[in-house]
A and B are shown apart, each in its own frame.
Chain A
Amino acid sequence: MTNPAAKPPAWRKALAPRAAGVVYAFIALLAVLTITSSVQGRPSYLSSVNLSNILEQSALIGILAIFMTVVLISGNFDLSVASTAALAGTVALKLIDGNGTFLAVLAAIACGALVGLVNALLVQKVGVNAFIVTLGTLTAVRGVVQAILDGKSITAHNTALLSFSTGRWELPVAVALVLGGALIALAVVLAVRSGPARTSAASSGADSSGAVREKLTATWPLWLGGLLILVIAGFRPNLLEQAVPVWIMLGLALVASLVLRFTVIGRNLYAVGGNAEAARLSGINVDRYKMGAFVLNGVLAAVVGVLYAGRFNSVDPTVLTGGELTVIAAAVLGGTSLFGGSGVVVKSVIGTLILFTLSNGFNVLNIGSNYQNVVQGTVLVAAASLYTATSQRDRALFRKRVARKTADPAPVLTKSSA
Chain B
Amino acid sequence: MSSDPGGTPPILDVRDVHKVYRTGTHALRGVSMRVRPGTVHGLIGANGAGKSTLIKILSGAQTVSDGEIAWRGEPAHWSSPSQALADGLAAVYQHMPLVPSLSVLDNVFLGHTGSVRWDRTRRTRELAELCDRVGYPLDGDDLVGDLSIGARQMVAILQALARGPALVLLDEPTAALSPSEREILFASVRRLRDTGTTFIYVSHFLDEVLDLTDHLTVLRDGLVVLDAPTASTDEAALITAIVGERLAAFEADAPSPARDLGEVVLAVDDLASGAAFGPLSFSVRAGEVVGIAGLLGSGRTELLQAIYGADRAVTGSVTVNGRDRPRGPQVAVRRGMALVPEDRARQGFLADWEIWRNISLPDLPRLSWRRMFPHTGRERAQARQAVEDLGIKTQTIDSKVGDLSGGNAQKVVFAKWLYGNASIFLLDEPTAGVDVGAKSDILHLIRRLAQRGAAVLIVTSEFEELIGSCDRILVLRRGALVADLVSAETDVHEVTAIASGFARHGDQISSRKAATS
* A-to-B contact residues, CB < 8 Å: 1-3, 6-7, 262-265, 267-268, 271, 274-275, 277-285, 341-342, 400, 403-404, 407-408, 410-413, 415-418
- Distance in Å: Cβ of A262 to nearest Cβ of chain B: 6
Contacting residue for A410 out of B66, B221, B341, CB 8 A: B66
29 contacts between A and B (CB under 8 A): A1-B384, A1-B387, A1-B388, A3-B395, A7-B398, A263-B373, A264-B365, A264-B371, A267-B374, A271-B350, A275-B346, A278-B347, A278-B361, A279-B350, A281-B308, A281-B329, A283-B333, A284-B361, A285-B330, A341-B352, A342-B352, A400-B62, A407-B79, A408-B79, A413-B20, A413-B65, A415-B16, A417-B223, A418-B221
B88 at the interface (CB under 8 A from A): no
Do B66 and A279 have beta carbons less than 8 Å apart?
A: no
Chain B binding surface SS class: mixed
B63 at the interface (CB under 8 A from A): yes
Do B310 and A262 have beta carbons less than 8 Å apart?
A: no
Q: What is the bound-complex CA distance between A314 and B273, given in angstroms?
A: 58
Given A264-B374, A283-B332, A413-B20, A418:B29 Cβ within 8 A: yes
Q: What is the bound-complex CA distance between A263 and B368, given in angstroms?
A: 8
B348 at the interface (CB under 8 A from A): yes
Quick one: which of B323-375 are within 8 Å of A by CB?
A: 328-330, 332-334, 339, 341, 346-353, 357, 361-362, 364-365, 368, 371-374
B285 at the interface (CB under 8 A from A): no
The residue in chain B whose Cβ has the minimal distance to the Cβ of A273 is B350
B202 at the interface (CB under 8 A from A): no
- Distance in Å: Cβ of A194 to nearest Cβ of chain B: 8
Do B361 and A262 have beta carbons less than 8 Å apart?
A: no
Residues of A within 8 A of B388 (CB): 1
Q: What is the bound-complex CA distance between A360 and B397, given in angstroms?
A: 46
Given A262-B373, A280-B329, A282-B416, A3:B351 Cβ within 8 A: no
Residues of B within 8 A of A3 (CB): 395-396
- Distance in Å: Cβ of A217 to nearest Cβ of chain B: 16
Do A2 and B352 have beta carbons less than 8 Å apart?
A: no
Quick one: which of B39-85 are within 8 Å of A by CB?
A: 62-66, 79-80
Using an 8 Å CB-CB cutoff, how does the interface string of B14-38 with A read, 1 for contact, 0 for none? Answer: 0010101000000001100000000
Given A6-B395, A264-B371, A341-B352, A415:B361 Cβ within 8 A: no
Do B29 and A417 have beta carbons less than 8 Å apart?
A: yes
* B-to-A contact residues, CB < 8 Å: 16, 18, 20, 29-30, 62-66, 79-80, 221, 223, 308, 310, 328-330, 332-334, 339, 341, 346-353, 357, 361-362, 364-365, 368, 371-374, 384, 387-388, 395-398, 416
Chain A binding surface SS class: loop
Residues of A within 8 A of B334 (CB): 283
The residue in chain B whose Cβ has the minimal distance to the Cβ of A341 is B352
Residues of A within 8 A of B361 (CB): 267, 271, 278-279, 282, 284
- Distance in Å: Cβ of B389 to nearest Cβ of chain A: 12
The residue in chain A whose Cβ has the minimal distance to the Cβ of B347 is A277
Of A283, A341, A410, A415, chain B has the most CB atoms within 10 Å of the CB of A283
Q: What is the bound-complex CA distance between A416 and B62, given in angstroms?
A: 21
Residues of A within 8 A of B416 (CB): 282
The residue in chain A whose Cβ has the minimal distance to the Cβ of B64 is A410
Residues of B within 8 A of A1 (CB): 384, 387-388
Q: What is the bound-complex CA distance between A408 and B20, given in angstroms?
A: 13
Of A341, A404, A413, A415, chain B has the most CB atoms within 10 Å of the CB of A413
Given A275-B351, A278-B347, A280-B310, A2:B63 Cβ within 8 A: no
Do B372 and A264 have beta carbons less than 8 Å apart?
A: yes
Contacting residue for B347 out of A265, A281, A411, A417, CB 8 A: A281
The residue in chain B whose Cβ has the minimal distance to the Cβ of A4 is B396
Do B18 and A413 have beta carbons less than 8 Å apart?
A: yes
Do A413 and B396 have beta carbons less than 8 Å apart?
A: no
Q: What is the bound-complex CA distance between A393 and B136, given in angstroms?
A: 39
Q: What is the bound-complex CA distance between A221 and B341, given in angstroms?
A: 39
Do A264 and B364 have beta carbons less than 8 Å apart?
A: yes
What would 9 more interface pairs be, CB under 8 Å, given A1-B387, A283-B333, A408-B63?
A2-B397, A263-B373, A267-B361, A278-B347, A283-B332, A407-B79, A413-B65, A415-B66, A418-B221
- Distance in Å: Cβ of B18 to nearest Cβ of chain A: 5
Residues of B within 8 A of A412 (CB): 66
Do A265 and B372 have beta carbons less than 8 Å apart?
A: yes
- Distance in Å: Cβ of B145 to nearest Cβ of chain A: 20
The residue in chain B whose Cβ has the minimal distance to the Cβ of A337 is B352
Q: What is the bound-complex CA distance between A251 and B332, given in angstroms?
A: 38
Residues of A within 8 A of B330 (CB): 283-285
